[in-house]
Chains A and B, each alone.
Chain A
Amino acid sequence: MDYEIVVIGGGPAGLAAAIEAKQKGVSSILIIERDRELGGILQQCIHNGFGLHVFKEELTGPEYAERFINELKDEGIDYMLDTMVLELSKDRTITAMNGKNGLMHIKAKAIILAMGCRERTRGAISIPGTRPAGVFSAGTAQRYLNMEGYIVGKRVVILGSGDIGLIMARRMILEGAKVLAVAEVMPFSGGLMRNIVQCLDDFDIPLLLSHTVTEIKGNGRVEGVVISKVDENLKPIPGTEISYDCDTLLLSVGLIPENELSREAGILIDKSTNGPIVNEAMETSISGIFACGNVVHVHDLVDFVTAESRRAGSHAAEYVLGSVEVDKEGLATIPGDGISYIVPQKIRSENLSDKVTFFMRVNKTFSNVSLVVKSGDHVVREFKRKHLAPGEMESIELEKEVIEAMGLESLTIEVRKEA
């Protein structure tokens, strides 16, 4: 089985990349999806807030997904459901299997990685206590509730104030559960302000900042949790323990890009993003293998995933049609003071048409600062910012000429406080 482009993952990233590649002139494209339908995690995100950038209207997750799925079908793009990719090789051969076709070897001229991310679990944050039933990641509880029709508990405590945790607080309340508290280890919430207002404040759910779960109690089923205040080093402060009687603990404690296939193929991974190192074309360290969406870095909004994936799809099409400069080294982007990561990590100025956008996250909150772009010690450009927070992805644009003038010197972006 041969295809010009194979996309791994049929969520928002894979859908947008495949559609874009088709529209750029690639005729044979296949999407491989492990779930029973396309759309990825959007199908369980039944709340509104999607599509303001892409469609200029506010949609729910399933509506956003269905528009792309319809477009994909109109374009006549092939897809396989219930199919698991087992292995990806450097020469762009995919080993996959499903119940109908058995084991398959699929050869592609270009591959687009769009596997998304998964939730961190209790094990990842090492919460002490017993190991009863009733501890769920928020996204798992969301799938049970919104798709399968099961409510996972009646008295709920949520650890982590990321958007999934906040959204689930409201969902559990609307479906008749009691949400006792949302605890957040950081002194600020990682979720959007609008979600704190419409998911917590509207229902008088307390948000406990600088607090974490220090014990889970119960045999068989969760019977309660202990929440403690933490100091500035995020260590629990003895004597601040509060006990909550609950039957469920939901965890919304971060997402990890899902890169087992990428690692096995030998694709270089950025330690800060946990995603592949990519260049301006969203191409990984292996020529012809591209990546986009949450598998590269975790995005705040699906609209940004769509934009990034369209670029990946477009460049993969250029690669297949042979209209792109390959095998050039390019200059590296380096996160300076205050910046935790920058995507893309490499830029080949030869391939830029006019501008390039850099996406980044800061490592703590800042007010009234500048994002300073440097080539060696030389300051190239400054961008003023009133407010920067780790929970909000930041971006800056540079023109092709600016990048060209840097040659192969590295490009650093750092946060500088205003005098």
Chain B
Amino acid sequence: MKLGEKKEMVCIVCPVGCRLTVECMKEFLVEDAYSITGNKCKRGVDYAVKEMTSPTRMLPTTIKIEMGILNRLPVRTRNPIPKELIFDCMDVINKVKVEAPISMGDVVISNILGTGVDVIATRSMGRSK
């Protein structure tokens, strides 16, 4: 982004979806290089800076589960992961299989692709009878 250039974006931190305006104040990729307006809470500022420097996303998906009451167990990354790693993470997640019983919050993949982020179960699932 060039000095003085402006970019519009929508904050995705929560369902309110604030419409943000990001203005480039310095030519370098430093944290205070951007001026952010339009946010209703301070998380909007963090989001906009991150979106300009290293965008991240939560990744909710499912994995295979055996002996459970369902065929799929819902999981998510505990924290957001780098956006460009979404499909690589899906490749890793798709190779994993667990066996019931599982408790909500159980780590099913630790430190996925060296991001420091665990993938956790988002529900408990008992064994099928």
A337 at the interface (CB under 8 A from B): no
- Comparing B24-32, B67-75, B111-119, the segment that makes contact with chain A is B67-75
B residues at A contact (CB < 8 Å): 9-15, 17, 19, 57-58, 60-62, 64, 69-72, 74, 76, 83, 86-87, 90, 104, 122-124
Q: Evaluate contact between A149 and B74: CB separation under 8 angstroms.
A: no
Q: Evaluate contact between B76 and A48: CB separation under 8 angstroms.
A: yes
Complex CA gap A48/B86 in Å reads 15
Chain A residues with Cβ under 8 A from B124's Cβ? 66
Q: Evaluate contact between B60 and A46: CB separation under 8 angstroms.
A: yes
A residues at B contact (CB < 8 Å): 36-37, 43, 46-49, 52, 58-60, 62-63, 65-66, 145-149, 171, 174-175, 192-194, 196-198, 202, 300-301
Chain B residues with Cβ under 8 A from A36's Cβ? 69
Chain A residues with Cβ under 8 A from B74's Cβ? 46, 60, 62, 146
Q: Give A52's nearest chain B residue, CB to CB.
A: B14
Q: Evaluate contact between B61 and A149: CB separation under 8 angstroms.
A: no
Chain A residues with Cβ under 8 A from B62's Cβ? 46, 145-146, 149
Pick from B9, B57, B72, B90: contact of A147, CB under 8 Å:
B72
Q: Evaluate contact between A46 and B15: CB separation under 8 angstroms.
A: no
Chain A residues with Cβ under 8 A from B14's Cβ? 49, 52, 58, 194
Pick from A46, A174, A193: contact of B122, CB under 8 Å:
A46
Q: Give B17's nearest chain A residue, CB to CB.
A: A193
Q: Give B83's nearest chain A residue, CB to CB.
A: A202
Q: B14, B69, B71, B74 — which one has the most chain A CB atoms within 10 A of its CB?
A: B74
Q: A62, A145, A149, A198 — which one has the most chain B CB atoms within 10 A of its CB?
A: A62
Q: Evaluate contact between A194 and B10: CB separation under 8 angstroms.
A: yes
Q: Evaluate contact between A63 and B71: CB separation under 8 angstroms.
A: no
Q: Evaluate contact between B104 and A174: CB separation under 8 angstroms.
A: no
Complex CA gap A37/B126 in Å reads 12
